[in-house]
Amino acid sequence: MDPSDLREIDLFTGLSDEQLAELIEAGDEVPVKPAINLFEEGEPADYWWVLIDGSLQLVRHVGREDSVVGTMDVPGRWAGGFRAWDPASVYLATGRGRTPGRVLRVPATALRELFGKWFPFGVHFIEGLYGTARRIESTVRQREALATLGTLSAGLAHEINNPAAAASRAVDALEDASGSLLASVGRLTRTGITPVQFADLEALRREITTTTAVPDAITLADQEDLLIDWLSERQVERDWLIGPTLAAAGVDLDWCGRAEALFEGPALDPALEWVAATVSMERLLAEVRESTRRVSELVAAVKSYSQMDRGSRQTIDVVEGLESTLVMLGHKLRGGVEIVREYSDDVPRIDAYPGELNQVWTNLIDNAVDAMDGVGTLRVATRAEGAEVSVEIGDTGPGLAPSVSKRAFEAFYTTKDVGKGTGLGLDIARRIVVERHGGTIDFESVPGNTVFRVRLPLVQS
């Protein structure tokens, strides 16, 4: 290798032939061979690698798999060498040959000496810049991650608390209902009830739970008053409890008359109490079943969202990820947000990294809700487009101003106050879609209709 090999590379613009010769002498030429690693993720970054020709893949171990996070395919692209400025630095990814070529490998210590000789002020400047940027980035990312985790955790806790509290209340009420049921059975046996009478009573109870419609609120209140008066006239104990329970189950005076015809005298009271207790227990058990079902759905949504117990790259249903994201952000979607789902039936499964896509959906949906200030229509749509799947997230907010539209995908750009949002900018969302999945992301925005559109290939290259 001689200076002419480096002269046409933009990275070395401004260096003299003597300086290029010193750089070449300090390092050595290393061939690039497909599928052969030049440096390993996590090892000390003792060398500076500059691509002369060919190409490299930058690979990181994510979860249980190796994932390509970048490509060095333009002469002058470089990696490593961080120990020239930070003794504790390691390679952030593995450099793996993609196509045949060569790189210039320079020890970090030699790089530091050359920079100190050529650019003494630059060495101090880079050291300060590197240390400051590293500290700031670490602090900001940690705080953003904690803020996001806190927001999602609080929302999830609220989502789970409602059905859990309902189940707890229903279980407490079940204890009272079962006590009434057992007490009424004991009282019935002491009245000398016959098996035929009990079978008739069971038939009346089945009429309530299988065929009677539940009345509306006004009719229910009137029906409660009628039943309480009817029970009071017949000296039924606890009429204030039995009456509302029977009324809520749709019982009318005709039904009560038929029950009275079966049980005259002291047997009527325990018979009606038994019916009311069984009706209450059925209703409470239904509440427990529905509440626990809801908790199970939330847990399943969290597992789907976080991709627990799954490989990082999978064949997935995009709709599943969108739905789990809507569950995770449920605390922000109440009140004035109407969700319109437009899922096409012909959308195929795609090859993707679902955990990362869920981050993209979280960012886009969260931005849409914030843009509407919590009031408006959120539209989530999917459809097949040839060899791609298209996902659209739309909102009815005021739209993006032209100045914001120009910078929407710019790194570190945000219009949100500190502590708001997910901490995942549109720049990172674009990187996940474009670089990780080979897709595209764009948007159209006018007042009252902003749509972000993500297109993903069915199969990863």
Please give the CATH number for the structural domain made up of 3-118: 2.60.120.10
372-388 burial, b for 16+ CB within 10 Å, e for fewer? beeebbbbbbbeeeeeb
pLDDT of 344: 92
- No. of H helices and E strands in the chain? 13, 13
Structure tokens given for 440: 């595209």
- CA 398 to chain centroid, in Å, comes to 25
3-class SS of residue 288: helix
Structure tokens given for 203: 């038939």
Q: Which DSSP helix (H) or strand (E) runs through 172? A: helix 120-190
Are the C-beta atoms of residues 325 and 365 closer than 8 Å to each other?
yes
Dihedral pair phi/psi, residue 114, rounded to 5°:
-65, -45
3-class SS of residue 375: strand
Q: Which residues of the chain fall short of a pLDDT of 50? A: 125, 129, 136, 210-212, 308-310, 418-424
Q: Which DSSP helix (H) or strand (E) runs through 190? A: helix 120-190
> Domain 311-457, CATH 3.30.565.10 — does that match?
yes
Domain range summary for the chain, segments of one domain joined by +: 3-118, 163-293, 311-457
The CA angle 455-457-391, to the nearest 5 degrees, is 30
Structure tokens given for 369: 């809700």
Q: State in Å, rounded, how far the first CA of the chain is from the last one.
A: 34
Are the C-beta atoms of residues 423 and 144 closer than 8 Å to each other?
yes
Are the C-beta atoms of residues 348 and 383 closer than 8 Å to each other?
no
Continuous H helices in 329-418 = 354-371, 402-407
pLDDT of 50: 92
Interhelix angle for 239-248 vs 268-306, to 10°?
A: 60
pLDDT of 418: 43
Structure tokens given for 398: 């005021």
Q: Residue 201 and residue 270: Cα distance in Å, rounded?
A: 11
What torsion, rounded to 10 degrees, do the Cα atoms 37, 43, 48, 50 define? 20
Specify the residue for token string 């002369």. Answer: 52
pLDDT of 142: 54
Are the C-beta atoms of residues 291 and 163 closer than 8 Å to each other?
yes
Q: Which residues contact 230 (CB under 8 A, 6 or more apart)?
A: 243, 253, 256
